[in-house]
Chains A and B, each alone.
Chain A
Amino acid sequence: MKAKGTVLKYGDNVDTDVIIPARYLNSFDAKELASHAMVDIDPTFVQRVKPGDIMVAGKNFGCGSSREHAPLCLKTAGVSCVIAKSFARIFYRNAINIGFAILECEEAADDIEEGNQVEIDFDSGIITNITKNRQYQAQPFPPFLQKMIAENGLVNYVNHQKEN
């Protein structure tokens, strides 16, 4: 599995309240949520984001609330992967559970700049910055989680377990 896209870059501690503010949580319609993604930190995000774009951020991405609406709205808005120095733990598991790609890589998070063209090979964890002609190695997921992502999330994983 590979992803390729333009980078949208943010800082440390991007919290779930700015990814999708609580005032929109009276709906869990993925398209409606996506139409408000990142509004409180970057009101231009929804106009700028293109399918396949890659989000790059600092440490503790997705801190705060347990709202799965946060990874869901980014996935639905077209983001193909978030690369960050670290993820808040609930966002981390929510992303995996819905089959939304995330990668931890401090070097990439520091070096990649807004607007760079980046390609990701999820099997090897290699991130290629096409603009800067550089490569970074992300932390690979443990096999259990790789399997869950490959099965496109927890529901398929659980149902597959039941069949066996």
Chain B
Amino acid sequence: MSMTMTQKILASHAGLEEVKAGQLIEADLDLVMANDITGPMALPIFSQMADTVFDKDKVVLVPDHFTPNKDIKSAENSKAIRDFSFNQCLTNHMEQGKCGVEHAILPEKGLVVAGMAVIGADSHTCTYGALGAFSTGVGTTDIARGMATGKAWFKVPSAIQFHLTGKLNPYVSGKDVILYIIHKIGVDGALYKSMEFTGEGVKELSMDDRFTICNMAIEAGAKNGIFPVDEQTIVYMKEHSVKPYEIYEADKDAEYEQTIEINLSEIRPMVAFPHLPGNGHTIDEIEKEEPIYIDQVVIGSCTNGRMSDLRKAAAILKGKKVANRVRAMVVPATQKIFMQCIKEGLLEIFVEAGCAVNTPSCGPCMGGHMGVMAKGEKCVSTTNRNFVGRMGDTQSLIYLASPETAAASAIAGYIANPEKFGG
């Protein structure tokens, strides 16, 4: 056989010996997730197909987008999924103060492990590929059907192999890697495909780096991003989960549409300019031009709100002040991360520096609330999209960057090289 890692997971979940790219299959799902935007819309569709969920251990609803509820309509939506969660006796009930941003909380609570097939009604569900799982974003009708039947239809994807070598330099992290890759292949460079990361460079990437990289696979159009399971993955899973995991490996002769060599040592801090994640520039290119003055910095989200992200931002912000003209907000992605920040003294560093520290929420990333921008304002953000109007007014501008670049920019007041603000 000659299957990719993704194809092997899909074959096993479809009860097939082998699948080929382009084949349409029905797969059994191990986890089905929705949030407070997509969940409420799915409930009336769900009720056209079933009265009870297919498995109360395998359906999870996360209130994270407009929470803490920004208005009455949002409160009604949160209430709809809360009531459903209790009425269906879902094993994993999520609530503000006890959870966090969906793609950070699911791995942290051990709900996703290697070998699983997961769908989520959120495009960044591809994050869990970091754990060696197949996971992908779908819409509301798919998720309603998944909740009702535990099944989804897929067209088996072909794959692009990213062969990683070398080692990241200081002040370069997973965000720079994925911005570099999307810049290289374009925002539809992996359309309908898997992005499979391989090579000796994998071991040089932390789990948080891998979550960030897989998180933004969708920004290259991919169906999923996936990393092989190694010792780091196993340590992470043992620390967070009691679920049995299954390790799938691509066949030696797996067919890839393309192999792209990525030398991690050569990657520089990257910034994606408005209005596409593929519009990347290296920090060196930026430094040669006139400074780009900014109004806002956001450090957080399902892309970069994890512990190592906040540690790196804090190392740069320690003992420094956010520039006068800038407002900076730090949003730990989960309550556990929030608590760890308290224990390690990071909250003190952020507050002393003049950052607003917000409760876990997706709010500012999609212009929902808690960080919406006015006309003409510019933001350096560790989030994942810089589309027109994404964070507020259609004439506001978003520059996507790593937590370290964002922290350095908050201090400088313009897009800055983290190497020069070293912590």
Contacts and interface: CB of A to CB of B under 8 A. Distances in A.
Interface in B132-159: 137-142, 144-145, 148-149, 153
A25 interface: yes
A40 B389 contact: yes
Given A90-B123, A144-B153, A155-B48, A63 B38 contact: no
Contacts, number: 124
A154 interface: yes
Given A59-B188, A154-B145, A90 B385 contact: no
A59 B65 CA distance: 28
Contacts of B149: 158
Given A142-B24, A154-B142, A66 B49 contact: no
B74 interface: yes
B178 interface: no
B113 to A, nearest CB: 23
Contacts of A21: 367, 389
B387 A60 contact: no
Contact of B191 (A17, A60, A71): A60
Interface string A92-109: 011001100000000000
A89 B221 CA distance: 7
B269 interface: no
Contacts of A63: 187-188, 221
Nearest to B186: A60
B41 A28 contact: yes
Interface string B100-143: 00000000000000000000111101000000000001111110
B221 A60 contact: yes
A153 B141 contact: yes
Contacts of A155: 45, 48-49, 141, 144-145
Contacts of A145: 24
A38 B77 CA distance: 23
B264 interface: no
Nearest to A33: B41
B388 interface: yes
Nearest to A27: B73
B272 interface: no
Interface in A11-66: 13, 15, 17-18, 21-23, 25-28, 40-41, 59-60, 63-66
Given A26-B74, A159-B48, A93 B388 contact: no
Given A15-B387, A97-B139, A155-B49, A26 B77 contact: yes
B195 interface: no
Contacts of B125: 66
Contacts of A71: 139
A88 to B, nearest CB: 6
B368 A66 contact: no
A89 B24 contact: no
15 contacts: A13-B188, A17-B389, A21-B389, A22-B368, A60-B187, A63-B188, A64-B387, A65-B122, A66-B38, A68-B140, A89-B191, A89-B223, A90-B218, A154-B145, A158-B145
Given A28-B41, A40-B389, A154-B141, 20 more contacts: A13-B187, A15-B388, A17-B366, A17-B387, A17-B388, A21-B367, A25-B65, A25-B66, A26-B77, A40-B388, A65-B122, A65-B366, A66-B138, A68-B38, A88-B221, A90-B137, A94-B142, A145-B24, A155-B45, A158-B149
Closest 9 CB pairs of A and B: A94-B139, A68-B139, A28-B41, A97-B141, A26-B73, A68-B140, A60-B188, A22-B366, A40-B389
